[in-house]
Amino acid sequence: MSQELFQNTSPEQSLTLYDLQRMVRASLESRFSSPVWISAEISELKVNRSGHCYLNLVEKGGSDGAPRAEARAVIWRSAYMPMASMFSAATGSPLAPGLRVLIRVLVTYHEVYGFSLQIVDIDPNYTIGEVERRRRETIARLEADGVWDMNHELPLPRPMLRIAVVSSATAAGYRDFMEEIRRTPYRFQITLFESLMQGESAEQSVVNALAAIASREESFDVVAIIRGGGSTSDLSLFDSYYIASCVAQFPLPVITGIGHDKDVSVSDMVAHTMCKTPTAVATFLAESVDAELNLLQSISNEIFSSISGVLHNETLRMFQYLAELQRMATESVNTQMFKLDSAAMLLRGTLEQIIASEQQHLNEASHLVESYSVDNILRLGFAVLRGEEGVITSVQGIDVGDTIDIALSDGAVEAEIRSITTKTK
């Protein structure tokens, strides 16, 4: 048959399609008589009712990721169950589209169905290593971009009450998160930005959810990315460069709760705060508010204590000032009272002297007045003349023939005016 392959053909001596297919089959089976190890990416996988597993394998190339090689493959029922169980136990994830695998295959060719591969063995260590290789490439690329610590350096708002959540609405992790939030005494404002968490469209879905939050960043304090436990391949979504890059450069602090306690993705590494599980994210948020309240209470107690101390010191100082004021007032009053007493004594002495002096003057005046009294004057030999108009002090008011009374010291006489002599000047 192999010799026929090199036979010359002509219009007179042609081959049938069946002959050609048999020749190709014989050539392949002779060239690949034993299984060979190859690496490829699973693009499609389907297990039919009979238990056989049918796959589509691709080899991508170029920057656009377009396939440069593609082949159909099958794992027969008898081999599929033990092979799938072994792979899942070793890698933590089932065989699924998107995984790159190292498989041992038999090259087969059928005249009707064409070229295909029969998978007879699989090396799970290759897939584990491939996941880790991609993970390290993502880390190196983020560090080269200079964005690794950007989200770490953002300050956490105080308090954190407005939470934007990226998760699937039906995920068990999201339900656990919400149940834990409801147990807290605080009124968190939770806004869900729903996203796929597995499958081929999950990467873009998560990036779109983060972009939607970024467009409303002033409405939120932090972002929480919630994803419950899953297989290693499922969780490798968060080793994606595009998701991790968005997280690292996000304008709000990002808190992650992805997978189980042992799972740490690249997105966890670049996020501001990594929590072990979705429930741990809710606990972290509640404890952050607890810390704020405790801090406020501590500040309040410190202020109260400080004010109490100041009031106590000022009260003591006021009493000291009051006592000093009372002492000074008493001393001042006593001094002024002494001065008033001294002034009163001096005034009393001065008044007594003035009164005595004035009394003497009055006595002297009284003696003088008394010496000028009518009786004294009459006793000196003087007389008082009175006419009809009263006391006569001048000759002008009398005439010759008028009768006047003459008052003497020991009596009075009546006389008639016989002559008047006027005194010349």
Q: What is the pLDDT of residues 191-222, one digit of tens each?
A: 999 999 887 788 899 999 999 999 999 999 99
Residues 249/121, Cβ–Cβ less than 8 Å:
no
- For residue 53, count other CB atoms closer than 10 A to its CB: 20
Distance between CA atoms of residues 397 and 417, nearest Å: 12
- The pLDDT value recorded for residue 65 is 62
Supply 62's token pair. 């170029």
| Signed CA dihedral, 92, 98, 104, 105: sign only | positive
Domains within the chain, CATH numbers bracketed: 32-131 (2.40.50.140), 136-290 (3.40.50.280), 376-416 (no CATH)
Q: What is the three-class DSSP state of 18?
A: helix
Phi/psi of residue 361, each to 5°?
Answer: -60, -40
Supply 232's token pair. 């290693």
Nearest to 171 by CA among 140, 199, 129, 200: 199
| Signed CA dihedral, 195, 196, 197, 202: sign only | negative
Question: Looking at the predicted structure, is the pLDDT value of residue 80 above 50?
Answer: yes
DSSP H or E run through 69: strand 66-75
Confidence category of residue 375, pLDDT binned at 50, 70, 90:
confident
DSSP H or E run through 240: none
Question: Looking at the predicted structure, is the pLDDT value of residue 328 above 80?
Answer: yes
Q: Which residue has the tokens 């806004």?
A: 191
What number is the average pLDDT over the span 224-252? 86
Supply 229's token pair. 């436990």
Q: Which residue has the tokens 């003349």?
A: 385
Confidence category of residue 249, pLDDT binned at 50, 70, 90:
very high
* Angle value at C-alpha 103, between 99 and 108, nearest 5 degrees: 120
- For residue 353, count other CB atoms closer than 10 A to its CB: 10
Distance between CA atoms of residues 407 and 377, nearest Å: 11
- The pLDDT value recorded for residue 2 is 43
Question: Looking at the predicted structure, is the pLDDT value of residue 418 above 90?
Answer: no
Residues 269/139, Cβ–Cβ less than 8 Å:
yes
pLDDT tens for each residue of 271-283: 999 999 999 999 9
Confidence category of residue 27, pLDDT binned at 50, 70, 90:
confident
- The pLDDT value recorded for residue 231 is 62
Q: How far is CA 216 from the centre of its chain?
A: 19
Nearest to 165 by CA among 199, 194, 208, 203: 194
List, in order, residues 6 or more apart from 40 with CB less than 8 Å away. 57, 58, 59, 69, 71, 100, 101, 103
- 238 DSSP assignment: G
What number is the average pLDDT over the span 408-419? 84
